[in-house]
Chain A
């Protein structure tokens, strides 16, 4: 069931401290870096959040709030709470890459990321890649042209990963693309076409 979602302003304090307050004291304490004061550590313990809280996520430029538990992954937050089903669940274990999204421009497996940890960060999903008005991102257009998919289920993850692959500077050659795209499985095995699409889109991404 999709929880009711309401657009809300981004929490200006999208910081580690906020995360720890919401993620729960014990976990927060365990992760607390040494430069935190004793008082802050105690705060983390005392402000243990159990159950549902409000989580603000900035997805594709829009801040949206969900009411969810701290254990909700970014992938499930996108799919089940925000109805952004473009990011796919293939394994839920970080083994297939179908859930790949960009967090602050870096590719991550959203199934291995807690939603609450991405507060204050910019999340980009496949739904946010095309320009307003629907013009495809060069990577999307190249996947379409080169038939870089069949069933399409791994495709959003492939495309997000491909965009990051180019931005990282890991698309210098065919061999490099193959290596740096090997975290995204495609059972239909569109690999040669995916590689061709990335090499073409690279030149158009500027």
Chain B
């Protein structure tokens, strides 16, 4: 059994989160667990304003937080094998093709996009359920992409995952106590007799009755099961959680409970989140920073206000315009929306140049020839489009020509020197390329 000798010293069984312990608030408010908690406790003595106070507003961005995870040019190609006796590799599914981003400490970044865009693959790469084809994932001085499975094991406790479907992600033959306590035994962190108190403490944290550790998953409702999944992910005090569609399998009224719980956990334990979801409204609420993916690439990344208020990529604009809006009821009828023609192309044979060009109304010759770089165009805003601009104000000529040393049709200009060589770094630079003046500007 490989074991980190510091393990026991690091995590005391009764301590939930080092940061929380320091501030003297070791547990969530018991009101929180009660209010969201099990049905039998009811809501007696709880009025609307006190529950409202427990509900969270949208998470805020801490612009100075250091990065806990830096993903640089991450790639995942799955081989496609031919049929028959000799199964030769005949191609690759380019599920994730060169993405770069940073996850700030205690912050959260949202990944959105249509199914098949590679957002779940990204989550699985970061938890190292897949070994990436290329690129790096720097986490606390280790490159998760290069570690062997053996070297990975002590790091796994810092990066945990919450799964989408609480009905299939819990073993029906194990009790809740076994499920939540399993990580402690795998990593051999606490003596056997300390496992149960820790499990009960975790159940309390996620708003379940600690006495229920002996029950089986089928005795719980969907929302309660998701809480069990969250408790399991929290068992080892992770520094980062990958939440892959954590609420999409739940009923609407329960979704809000779980989102609020995740926000509580983030605030109490300072956990960073990679939040993967296709529900743009939930992502907007939970993540102050959002990356939009299309066919294995990040096409736009930025803070919430920019992505939802002034998106510059035609795909982001189309995606946002397609979301049905409750406020439309006051006006009646359907909202105007941008129609995307056709389906997402196959990631085995993606279009040349810009991958979105086959469905983009602004696409020109340059889009087929040159791939647009993920260019920083604002303090916290990057976009990968030759014709980046606000809705209704897309420029007529490509904005990227000078940077790339090409003409408006995308052919290389002889003698021109591309100005920017480092276009796809993770995180943000102090200076950026201003679309209006076509100059590099700063604060």
The answer to whether A and B interact is no
Which residues of chain A have a CB within 8 Å of any CB of chain B? none
Q: Which residues does B use to contact A, with CB under 8 Å?
A: none
